[in-house]
A and B are shown apart, each in its own frame.
Chain A
Amino acid sequence: MSRPVRLDGLVAGYERDLPIVKGVDFAVAAGEFVGIFGPNGAGKSTLVKAVAGAAATFGGAAFLGDTLLTGLPAHKVLGAGLAFVPQTENIFATLSIAENLQIAAEVLPRAARAARIGAMHAMFPDLARAPHRPAGSLSGGQRQMLAVARALIVSPDAIILDEPSAGLSPRLAHDVFTTLARINAAGTTIILVEQNVRAALAVVSRGIILVDGRVRLDAPAADLAARDDLGALFLGTAAAAA
């Protein structure tokens, strides 16, 4: 099942009088694959952390379908059906690969757990090879796959990923994007935060450009890919209208 995600005037950050996300509205339809782009410091990570319950929200609200996510602790946001993969430290390095998957599977009814872990092994065969090794022994690409598998294991209605290609070679980044496209094709709503804009525009259907904590442009991926002033848009020097 897949559900839409909606943000209504979301204000978020780490200190109430110094918000980083300054009122963001957008809607992502069920089954849509949307990219969030923007310069460093635009508030992309803070925005998605706030939706996932990992950063404080000072105003506005985020919804998954009809469920209000704002105010829920992170573990209840996951329980509500929205999974989040942070950019860094997104696996438990001291736990085994199997334990990383088991922890996420705990959210599911007991009878469903083994089948979902099996499904993740089928999707990411590297994770089935040595399940009892510490997850910290995995390579960068394998770690991202484990982090994605950990999020997918609960069959979320929507998944948010914060720069899953960071630190990966172009080939591995391509593999990550291809995997995400496959997951989206299977019906999961995906919101992807990326620095690697050109590569991400090849897989997302729509791009939202965030500058200084506000939505500067929200346009179909094909339109964004056709523009040659993306860099200037990021800096706020180009007109947003296409």
Chain B
Amino acid sequence: MNPQVFVDGIVAGSMIGLGAIGLTLVYSILRFPNFAHGELVTAGAYFALSLAALIGAAVGGTAPIGPFSFGWAIVLAALGAMVATAALALALDAVLFQRLRRRGAAVIIIVMASFGASLALRSGIEFVYTASPAYFTRELQIAMRLPGGLRVTPDQLAALALTAVLVVAVHLFVTRTAAGRAMRAVRENPALAALAGIDVDRTIRLVWVLGAALACAAGITAGLLIQIRPTMGFDLLLPLFAAAILGGVGSLPGAVVGGLVVGLGEALTVAFLGAEWRAGAAFMLLVAILVVRPNGLFGRAGG
């Protein structure tokens, strides 16, 4: 077997992990699986693409930085795109999910609404940007040789580093800050959280902002390493859910580990069985792990 499979799997897994953190945050606090999360990934990538073009045209910064394929324009655009994706998520909550929550809508109604939002956003993105793939850059990357005959591109290393930094930052935010404490309190008991003085609506907005910013980061990473397509987020949805559930819904480290397991599983499936089995791999892994650990790898019973 070619050990290169592991490098590819870990890189893909870190992207899935980034997206899965947002999904698991929203799931554990708002108590519904958000099918539109994939479109936040897609929208994040396209926001960054448009912003990078604007920045490139206005001030330059398109020349690659060092060994990477991207320039400063994309780095700046990524920050702007995170803000834009967060704004999109907040708007979606304000016009759709918040209204349903206030009416006490059943979970299945909210899930279907998220499915509708997913379709509408995907079609909207395709209408604006067309279905043909887009690229942040067409620079060729020269892979670096690692011991053991492994190859990794500088962009892949940058993606791994970005994932590690974001995951640690989010973990510290949730476990060490007052806002993170409020998020955990709302997750356990929203009614009590309000009685304890927490502004639950503000905490929910914060969850959307965090989840959307991470989805955007996942979209930009996927766009850099693969390509940008209107269906990129939707195609990622099954792996995202698999990662979030594998890790134990609500667990941030679990989402990342789940992402790596799914990424590696997919890469090994492609290597051994063929690319047509890739989508099935996430599903099979999910079923297999849930049979052994019904609450996921890091999940709490009943959590």
Contacts and interface: CB of A to CB of B under 8 A. Distances in A.
Nearest to B201: A73
A232 B188 CA distance: 41
Which among B188, B189, B195 has the greatest number of chain A C-beta atoms within 10 A?
B195
Contacts of A89: 189, 192
Contact of A95 (B178, B184, B195, B197): B184
B195 A74 contact: yes
A93 B199 CA distance: 19
Contact of A102 (B178, B193, B194): B178
Contacts of A86: 191-192, 195
A89 B185 CA distance: 12
Contacts of A107: 197
A181 interface: no
Given A95-B181, A99-B181, A106 B188 contact: no
A102 B178 CA distance: 8
Contacts of A102: 178, 181
Give the dominant DSSP class at B's interface.
helix
Residue in A73, A74, A79 whose Cβ sees the most chain B Cβ within 10 Å:
A74
Contact of A75 (B178, B199, B303): B199
A79 B181 CA distance: 19
A54 B303 CA distance: 24
B196 A103 contact: yes
B119 interface: no
Given A95-B181, A103-B185, A106-B178, A90 B197 contact: no
Nearest to B199: A75
B197 A84 contact: no
Interface string B193-232: 1111111110000000000000000000000000000000
Contacts of B196: 75, 78, 92, 103-104, 150
Contact of B197 (A54, A75, A92, A94): A75
A92 B194 contact: no
B182 interface: yes
Interface string A79-103: 1000010100111111100010011
Nearest to A154: B197
Sort chain A's interface into a size bin.
20 to 34
Contacts of B181: 95, 99, 102-103
Interface in B86-117: none
A94 B195 CA distance: 17
Contacts, number: 69
A104 B194 contact: no
A180 interface: no
A53 interface: yes
Nearest to B182: A103
A101 B181 CA distance: 11
A214 to B, nearest CB: 26
B192 to A, nearest CB: 6
A224 B188 CA distance: 40
Contacts of B192: 86, 89-92
Contacts of B189: 89, 92
A217 interface: no
Contacts of A154: 197
A95 B303 CA distance: 13
A12 to B, nearest CB: 15
Contacts of B191: 54, 74, 86
Contacts of B200: 73, 75
Interface in A19-66: 52-54
B198 A94 contact: no
Contact of B195 (A78, A93, A99, A106): A78
Interface string B291-303: 0000000001001
Nearest to A94: B188
Nearest to B200: A75
Nearest to B197: A107
B178 A94 contact: no
Contacts of B198: 75, 103, 106
15 contacts: A73-B201, A74-B194, A74-B195, A78-B195, A84-B195, A86-B195, A92-B185, A92-B188, A94-B184, A94-B188, A99-B185, A103-B181, A103-B196, A106-B197, A107-B197
Interface of A: 52-54, 73-75, 78-79, 84, 86, 89-95, 99, 102-104, 106-107, 150, 154
Given A86-B191, A92-B189, A94-B303, 18 more contacts: A52-B195, A54-B191, A73-B200, A74-B195, A75-B194, A78-B195, A78-B197, A79-B197, A86-B195, A92-B185, A92-B192, A94-B188, A95-B184, A95-B185, A99-B185, A103-B193, A103-B198, A106-B198
* 7 nearest A-B residue pairs (beta carbon): A74-B194, A107-B197, A78-B197, A74-B195, A75-B194, A75-B197, A94-B188
